[in-house]
Amino acid sequence: MTATLAFDVYGTLIDTAGVITVLKRLVGDRAAPLSQLWREKQLEYSFRRGLMQNYRDFPTCTAQALDYACTRLGVVLDGSDRELLLAGYRVLPAFPEVKPALTDLKAAGFRLFAFSNGCADDLQSLLAHADIGDCFEDVVSCDEIGSFKPNPAVYAHFLRRAGAHGGTSWLVSSNPFDVIGAISAGMNGAWVRRTPQAVFDPWEIQPTVTVTRLTELNPAIKKGAAA
What's the pLDDT tens digit per position in 162-177?
999 999 999 999 999 9
Q: Are 132 and 124 in contact (CB under 8 A)?
A: no
Mean pLDDT of 52-77: 97
11, pLDDT greater than 90 = yes
Give the amino acid at 169. Answer: S
1, pLDDT greater than 70 = no
pLDDT at 112: 99
Q: Are 180 and 205 in contact (CB under 8 A)?
A: yes
Catalytic machinery residues = 8
208, pLDDT greater than 70 = yes
111, pLDDT greater than 90 = yes
Domains and CATH numbers, the chain: 4-14+92-226 (3.40.50.1000), 16-88 (1.10.150.240)
194-197-202 Cα angle (round to 5) = 100
pLDDT tier for residue 10 given thresholds of 50, 70 and 90 = very high
- pTM, rounded to two decimals: 0.94
In the beta sheet, which residues pair with residue 139? Answer: 114
